[in-house]
Amino acid sequence: HKKGRIGVVSRSGTLTYEAVGQLSDLNLGQSSAVGIGGDPVNGLKHKDVLELFMNDSETDAVIMIGEIGGTDEETAAQWYARECKNKKPVVGFIAGVTAPAGKRMGHAGAIISGGKGTAQEKLAVMETCGIRTTRNPAEMGELLKSVL
């Protein structure tokens, strides 16, 4: 971790470290990195942390990392589009693009059901709401740098 002005919110611990490492390698430090976990019931949602970052004078931009399952990322993206699309840039990545529907992946929160919660659906909503996305986790840092 490196002190700086980029916020990271993630459902994945491993991808949090990956994003922080990429940012640090690009000399982009972090104001905070918040892991919200991937289970369906958690204390904070992406929207909660995104709102905190939008109101934080020490955060200039955000990486939002999600996973398949649930609709948390879509809810956060829709809130961002309504409330603060032009305030601070947000970029995103969703893990699980190749995950088969109906298959539990890793933990209780990572399950796609009823056509909801797919990586493709989440990425499409995020992009429609003004959040630039990548389908390659190795590009998160460079994508964030490109919007500054």
In which region does residue 104 sit, left (phi positive, over 0), alpha (psi from -120 to 50) or beta (all else)?
beta
Q: What share of the chain is helix, strand, coil (3-state, %, to 5)?
A: 35, 20, 40
What is the C-alpha separation between 56 and 144, in angstroms, rounded? 18
Cα(34)–Cα(8) distance, integer angstroms: 6
Q: Is 107 marked active-site?
A: yes
Catalytic residue of the set 2, 5, 85, 107: 107
- Report the C-alpha gap between 78 and 85 in whole angstroms: 10
Q: Are 36 and 62 in contact (CB under 8 A)?
A: no
Catalytic amino acids? 107
